[in-house]
């Protein structure tokens, strides 16, 4: 709906194919969602010509975007409050163990918390590095990759994380799953959570 709203502001018609591309969904799924949005009164379909349709956001659709945005920010604020101390404790533990760099790989809505903690504890922070930078970080022993992915299936849906779930045999960097950090982890658990061996989980 946000894409329809932004295109509406530009006075530009948007096709289902464009909406599907923007959302990363199949054309069929996009069509089903648009029908559901229209049934709920959030969008209107305007026929431009024989097969050409345009979509406009209704006042109800604008209210729904606002409601969902507020709900998202409320959830994000609760999550930040809940996980801030856990992430900071983990990063502090890394600094005390001599690590110099933390790399967050994959999707992460907590990247700002890691970035903040890395600044506080004098660690370098990278998110989803590519190419030569990635190769260089994998070759360093004082680097930890925090993987925000889902071993066992869902990582295939998350392209940035996919490359990090399988470390090269010659990788010297350590790694830990984000989920391990967000669980109640004490100081002794940091050593067992950060793995140095190559391969997959």
Domain match, 114 and 190 both: yes
74 located within any domain: no
| Domain at 34, CATH number | 1.10.10.10
Cα 91 versus chain centre, distance: 19
Domain match, 92 and 191 both: yes
187 located within any domain: yes
The parent domain of residue 51 ranges over 2-57
Domain match, 152 and 194 both: yes
Diameter of the chain measured on Cα atoms: 67
| Domain at 90, CATH number | 3.40.1010
Cα torsion angle, 178, 179, 185, 190, sign: negative
User: Contact at 8 Å (CB) between 193 and 174?
Assistant: no
191 located within any domain: yes
Q: Is the pLDDT assigned to residue 155 strictly greater than 50? A: no
Domain match, 95 and 40 both: no
Point out the domain boundary residue: 57, 74, 99: 57
Q: Is the pLDDT assigned to residue 126 strictly greater than 90? A: yes
Domain match, 47 and 94 both: no
Structure token pair of residue 80: 């930040």
68 located within any domain: no
Cα torsion angle, 53, 37, 77, 75, sign: negative
pLDDT band at residue 197, thresholds of 50, 70 and 90?
very low
E strand or H helix at 90, and its extent? helix 59-96
For the stretch 22-54, pLDDT in tens is 777 788 888 888 888 888 888 887 776 766 677
For the stretch 168-181, pLDDT in tens is 777 888 888 888 88
157 located within any domain: yes
Q: Looking at residue 65, what is its pLDDT? A: 79
64 located within any domain: no
Q: What is the tally of structural domains in the chain? A: 2
Q: Looking at residue 11, what is its pLDDT? A: 55
User: Nearest-CA neighbor of 143 among 109, 86, 191, 95?
Assistant: 95
76 located within any domain: no
Domain match, 135 and 183 both: yes
Domain match, 39 and 91 both: no
Q: Looking at residue 12, what is its pLDDT? A: 58
pLDDT band at residue 103, thresholds of 50, 70 and 90?
very high
24 located within any domain: yes
Domain match, 51 and 88 both: no
């Amino acid at each position: 709906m946000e894409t329809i709203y932004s295109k509406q502001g530009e006075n530009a018609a948007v096709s289902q194919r464009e909406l599907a591309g923007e959302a990363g969904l199949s054309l069929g799924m996009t069509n089903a969602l648009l029908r559901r949005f229209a049934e709920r009164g959030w969008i209107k379909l305007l026929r431009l010509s024989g097969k050409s349709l345009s979509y406009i956001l209704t006042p109800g659709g604008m209210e729904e975007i606002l409601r969902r945005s507020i709900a998202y920010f409320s959830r994000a604020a609760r999550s930040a409050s809940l996980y801030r101390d856990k992430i900071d404790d983990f990063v502090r533990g890394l600094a005390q163990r001599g690590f110099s760099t933390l790399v967050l790989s994959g999707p992460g809505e907590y990247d700002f918390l890691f970035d903040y903690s890395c600044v506080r504890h004098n660690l370098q922070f990278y998110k989803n590095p590519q190419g030569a930078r990635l190769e260089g970080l994998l070759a360093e022993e004082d680097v930890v990759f925090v993987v925000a992915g889902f071993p066992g299936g869902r990582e295939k849906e998350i392209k940035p994380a996919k490359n990090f779930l399988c470390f090269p045999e010659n990788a010297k960097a350590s790694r830990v799953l984000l989920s391990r950090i967000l669980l109640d982890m004490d100081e002794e658990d940091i050593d067992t959570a950060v793995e140095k061996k190559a391969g997959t989980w």
